[in-house]
């Protein structure tokens, strides 16, 4: 595979969407073909699963159902979008990937990490990100940003702060375990400072 695979991670309100356009433009200006996608989603079936996962509900969804739906959408995404794009030599820029599952379903929901890893190994079949950009900020700051959007909160955004504290801690643990792949971005800083750091990280990846 000649392309590169970059994922963007972080808790709700971390500003991922704002920076994805910057990253895409940065790479395209340097001659790379960039495919932008997201998880859950990215394909027709994946977007239907996303709607099920994010829709606010009067009744709950079991943790196992949530986990398996995430991986069902991911399996389709890898098959239809990620693997073919990388094989063409394109760069894939994805809003969330498997680190999000370990953080949200593992850290947040408390599902055993080994169970997630087993399903992950079976689904990914060796696909892994070349670079993961983890946009980190205090949970209270992220939640205040979500409120300012003035739109209905999805099923995850409606969770309590303690849920996101567990997610954030899991993300930070993964970044500590894999510092070469997962680069920590202080998302509480101003946009210019964040983009300066992103430019440095991306330049290093381009020259690798």
Assign domain 5-37+86-207 to its CATH architecture. 3-Layer(aba) Sandwich (3.40)
Question: Which of 21-25, 118-122, 146-150, 155-159 is predicted with the least confidence, judged by mean pLDDT?
Answer: 146-150
Q: Looking at the predicted structure, is the pLDDT value of residue 17 above 90?
A: no
What was the pLDDT predicted at 41? Answer: 97
Domain residues of the chain, as ranges? 5-37+86-207
Pull the structure tokens for residue 198. 């992103």
Q: Looking at the predicted structure, is the pLDDT value of residue 150 above 80?
A: no
Q: How buried is 202 (Cβ within 10 angstroms: 0-12 exposed, 13-18 middle, 19+ buried)?
A: buried
Question: Which of 28-32, 81-85, 153-157, 168-172 is predicted with the least confidence, judged by mean pLDDT?
Answer: 153-157
Distance (Å, rounded) from C-alpha 169 to C-alpha 71? Answer: 22
Tell me the average pLDDT across 25-43.
Answer: 97
Distance (Å, rounded) from C-alpha 175 to C-alpha 72? Answer: 25
Rounded to 5 degrees, what are φ and ψ at 170? -65, -45
Question: Which of 9-23, 65-79, 179-193 is predicted with the least confidence, judged by mean pLDDT?
Answer: 9-23
């Amino acid at each position: 595979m000649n392309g590169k695979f970059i994922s963007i991670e972080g808790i709700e309100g971390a500003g991922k969407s704002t920076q994805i356009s910057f990253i895409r433009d940065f790479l395209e200006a340097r001659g790379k073909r960039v495919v932008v996608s997201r998880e859950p989603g990215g394909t027709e079936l994946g977007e239907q699963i996303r709607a099920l996962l994010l829709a606010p509900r009067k009744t709950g969804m079991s943790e196992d159902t949530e986990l398996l739906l995430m991986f069902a959408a991911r399996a389709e995404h890898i098959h239809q979008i990620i693997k073919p794009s990388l094989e063409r030599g394109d760069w894939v820029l994805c809003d969330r990937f498997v680190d999000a599952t370990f953080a949200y379903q593992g850290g947040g929901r408390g599902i055993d990490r080994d169970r997630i890893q087993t399903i992950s190994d079976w689904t990914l079949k060796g696909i892994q990100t070349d670079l993961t950009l983890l946009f980190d900020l205090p949970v209270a700051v992220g939640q205040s940003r979500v409120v300012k959007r003035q739109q209905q909160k999805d099923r995850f955004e409606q969770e309590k702060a303690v849920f996101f504290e567990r997610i954030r801690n899991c993300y930070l643990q993964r970044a500590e375990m894999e510092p070469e792949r997962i680069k920590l971005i202080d998302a509480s800083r101003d946009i210019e400072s964040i983009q300066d750091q992103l430019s440095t990280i991306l330049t290093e990846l381009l020259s690798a």
